[in-house]
Structures are given as structure tokens and as C-alpha cells.
Structure 1
């Protein structure tokens, strides 16, 4: 009898272990492997959207293609659009999760209209850039350091640079802020970025799948450590912001239920440089620009004018 019980318990334990491994691999694929993400809205914005004209203007504009090779050998791709009037000021624009440089067209045109050169990369594992594993900003920060260097190499040692990011791109520029950046980087703007990858995925596991962090997210983070070389707890905007002394503008919608609005206050408190906070009333995730276009553009223009002489 004891032997039968032991066999039964072993079988049950084996099933549990196999199930957990399968679930971990599945959720790692959902979170980090390059593929179509059904939970991400990939539909183009409607013609009735207030920012549709900006999007179309950028997409129709004549742009250059820039490339670089990442530290781990990936060929990365970007659009570059010069300002109408020659300038030594460039904004590098970072897109969100499962998005691409085309998806940032309206933001790129906003900065173009303000008189800046604009560089819009495809992150690793996105768009036309190489790579199979999404970096969540943590791996991408090293790529953006190289994009910054390329802007200086191409445009001159006196080039003044700002970083702008949306959602995962916002986390990317916040994480980049803690790196050893050249003095050319004058200011950073983040719109609806998460405080840590761990906190964001804990939130999404509960919100999307009604799952607690333990044990699945611990397992998925471990898989990331094995396959990508980093785990979810180390990937922190807060840790990087604590090393940042550059001016930052933090933007978030007060109706954001994808990256909770509460996260912006943690990010805001973490940075060590001059800072401003814009909470856009009624705006859901990544919709602050279209929700209050005038306020959004004026706030960015006023902020950047302080640090670009």
C-alpha cells in the first residue's frame, strides 16, 4: 500500500513539475520571444484620431536609414529625419513593447515640428532590427548608448541630444539615464514607463491571467537569466534613475491601467536631476498625446527649451 501511495505521489509531483515547466516556457514566449502579441493593439490609428496628421506626415516624409551593430552582434535599424532648418539638436525616440519605429511616427513628427532632428530606432527583436528576445529596456539601454554615440559621430561633437520614450521605450530611456552618457545628452522625457520589469509583469500576470507571481514569474525570470542573460528583478528604471542627474520630464495618464499610474511617482522620486511631472487627465496607457494634444506638445516644448541653448 505504501509503495502504491509513493508511486501515486511521485506521478502527481511529476505532472506538477512538467506543468510548471511548460507554463514557464509558454509565458516566457509570451513575454520575451519575438512574435505577434495578440494582447497588444497593433491597429493603425484612425483618421479621426487627433494625432493622425502627425503620423501620416512622418510616414510620408523622406527619411534616411541608419544602422548599427549591437554589442552582441545584432544589426539594428532606424529612421533619421533631419530638421527643416539645419540644427545641432537631435531627439532619439524609443518605441514600446511589440511596436516599431513606424508606430512612433506621430511622436517623431512632433519633435520634427519643434525643429529637431529625429532618430527613431527599431529595438532588438522589433521591426526591421535583428534579434529574437525582447529586451524590455534592460538590454536596449546598451543599444541606445550606441545610438547616442552614432548621432555624435555623424552630426558632430557639439550635437545636443534628448531622449524620449513611450511605455517600454520610456523604461528604456530611464534605464539608459543611469549609464555613463556623454555630456551631449541634455534632457530625457519618459511617457508611461514602468518602474521595474518585475513589478510590471507581476501586475500583468494578475491583470491578464489572474496569476500570482509565485511560482510562474520566478520561473520565467529564471528562464530569462538562462536565455537572455538578465532577470526581471535586476531590470529596474528606479535603480538607473538613482544614478541620473539629467533633467527629466515624466508623463503619465491618470487612467492608465496597463502601466499603473502609481509607478510614475516612484520613478519621479528616484531621479536625482531636475524634474517635472505631467499627469494627463483622462488619458489611458500611451494615450496622453491624443487625449490632450495641446498640453502635451506645449509641455514638451517648454521643457526642452530650458536645456537646449
Structure 2
């Protein structure tokens, strides 16, 4: 009788364990698809009621050319808008998670009005670019470097600024620490970027789904390693900033609950000692809404930073 009970207890334990594995596997595949698999559902654009919407309308009137490169076996697409007055200065504008280049038109217009050429790529896995996966900056950083090299090959006198929003911000921060980044890149501007993909996904799992990191985030990270070759911890802005030597401006909204505002301080502290760095905290701004919340301060701060580290007029 006792042996029969023990057998049933062990069967129950094993059954629960197997069920837990099956449930976690299903959840892993679901959340991996949500976080990391391409989704071409139309992205949110700037609302017509936004104080920066007039910049979108102006940008739509500009003459754009389509530029393409191939990196890592993927064909990548970008808009190029020349400055009104010929210049060697170009800003590469990098979009965020589940966005594409069209979502960045207000920023493209901002830099155009400041006198710069503007290159606006679609990240891999977005827009008109090829790719099946979203890589949170891990692979995207090499694409940004490839675009910078593309501009430099076309014009060896190029002096380039990297600007990114949200995931794009993390991407340009990660690119800043790469040895392959050409010397033509002069400075970095990031707006609401995360410290690393692991911290951001753990935060989102808790904030959006009330799910702890273990075991699900670990297994989704493993899925990323198996399918894309990288763990979430490897997509790190802070590690890159620790070796970055380029002047950097870090921007964040005080009410950002998507990429928590605390990450601004972590990224700022991570910047290599001696590297010029500035930060701008926009009061009342939620995620990726700093420009819309205080357009005049945002523009003025970026303009001053650019005048210091990549001025149109030398």
C-alpha cells in the first residue's frame, strides 16, 4: 500500500514537472514571437494634434532618395535627404521597436532644419529592409556601422552623428563601443534607450504581464541564442558606453514607464570616464515623447550639442 502511494506521488510530481515544462515552452514560443519576430503591423505615427506634427508635414514635402546596402546577408533600405545647403555633415536617424523610418519623420525634419543631411534607415526586420527578427540592437549596431561606412565611402569628408530613439537609442549606444565604427562618426545622441535587452525585457515582463524573470525570460533568452546567436544580456548599452570615447547626449522623459527613467542615470554613469557627456530630462514626458512634450527645449539642447561636437559651420 505504501509503495502504491509512493508511486502515485512520484507520478504526480513528474506529471506536474512535465506540465510545467510544456506550459513554459508554449509561453516561451509565444513571448519570443511577441518580442523578437518581425511584425509588419502598421506602427503608430505622430498624431495630428501633436505640437511637432507640422514637422512631419514638412518632411513629407522634402525630396528623398532611397539608398540600399547589404549587411550580414540582408538588404537594408533607407531614405536620404540632403541638406538645403551642401554640407559634409550627416545625421543617421534610427527608429525604435516595431517602428520603421516613417515614424521618425519629425526627427528627420528637425535635423534637416538644423542644416544636416539626414539618412533614415529601416532596421533589419522592419519596413522595407529584409530580416525576420528584431534584435534589440545586438545585430542592428553592425547595420548602423555599415550605414556610416556607406556614407563615408561616398564622401570621405563625411562627419556623422548617430541619433536613436528607444531601441534605436540602445542601438546607437551599442554601436559607439564597437571598434569597427568609422572615425567619421563624431558624436552620439540617444533618446530613451535601455541599459540592456535583458533588463528591459525583465522589466516589461513584470510591468506588463506580472511575470517574474525565472523561468520564462531565461528560456526566451535561450531561444534567442538558439535562433539568433545572442543572449539578451549581450545586447548591452552600458558595456558599450564603458568604452565609448565619442561625445554623447542622453535624453529621457521623467514619466517614462516603458523604459524606466532610472535607466537614464545608469547609462549616464556607465559612460567612459573622460568622455564628454550631457543629459536632458524632460519633465512630464512619457516614453519617446520628450520632443512632443517640450519641443523648444529639445531642439535647443540638441542644437547646442551639435554646435559643440559636429557643427554645420566650422
TM-score by length of 1: 0.96
Residue 280, structure 1, aligned to residue 279, structure 2: no
| Aligned match of 1:97 | 97
Supply the distance in 2 between the matched residues of 1:113 and 1:16 (Cα, whole angstroms): 56
Secondary structure class of the residue paired with 2:38: coil
Supply the distance in 1 between the matched residues of 2:156 and 2:293 (Cα, whole angstroms): 38
Of the structure 1 ranges 59-68 and 279-288, higher mean CA displacement relative to structure 2 is found in 59-68
The answer as to whether partners of 2:46 and 2:103 remain within 8 angstroms in 1 is no
Q: Which runs of 4+ in 1 moved over 3 A?
A: none
Q: Counterparts of 1:17-32 in structure 2 under 5 Å?
A: 17-32=21-36
Of the structure 1 ranges 91-100 and 27-36, higher mean CA displacement relative to structure 2 is found in 27-36
Shift of 1:10: 2.3
Shift of 1:36: 5.3
Shift of 1:16: 1.1
| Aligned match of 1:307 | 309
Equivalent residue in structure 1 for 2:296, among 282, 288, 294: 294
| Aligned match of 1:252 | 252
Q: Counterparts of 1:1-309 in structure 2 under 5 Å?
A: 1=4, 2-35=6-39, 42-71=43-72, 73-154=73-154, 156-180=155-179, 181-272=181-272, 273-308=275-310, 309=314
Secondary structure class of the residue paired with 1:45: coil
**Number of residue pairs the alignment of both structures matches:** 304
Secondary structure class of the residue paired with 2:233: coil
The answer as to whether partners of 2:252 and 2:281 remain within 8 angstroms in 1 is yes
Supply the distance in 1 between the matched residues of 2:172 and 2:277 (Cα, whole angstroms): 15
Supply the distance in 1 between the matched residues of 2:33 and 2:47 (Cα, whole angstroms): 30
The answer as to whether partners of 1:59 and 1:102 remain within 8 angstroms in 2 is no
The answer as to whether partners of 2:145 and 2:182 remain within 8 angstroms in 1 is no
Shift of 1:93: 0.4
Task: Give 5+ residue unaligned stretches, structure 2.
Answer: none
Supply the distance in 2 between the matched residues of 1:190 and 1:77 (Cα, whole angstroms): 21
Bigger Rg over Cα: 2
- For residues 154-201 of structure 1, what are the alpha-carbon distances to aligned partners after superposition, in whole Å with 9 as ceiling and x for unaligned? 2x1111100000000000000000012222111100000000111101
Supply the distance in 1 between the matched residues of 2:204 and 2:305 (Cα, whole angstroms): 32
Secondary structure class of the residue paired with 1:182: coil
Task: Give 5+ residue unaligned stretches, structure 1.
Answer: none
Secondary structure class of the residue paired with 1:233: helix
Q: CA RMSD in A?
A: 1.2
Supply the distance in 1 between the matched residues of 2:291 and 2:187 (Cα, whole angstroms): 19
Shift of 1:6: 2.8
TM-score by length of 2: 0.94
Supply the distance in 2 between the matched residues of 1:42 and 1:158 (Cα, whole angstroms): 35
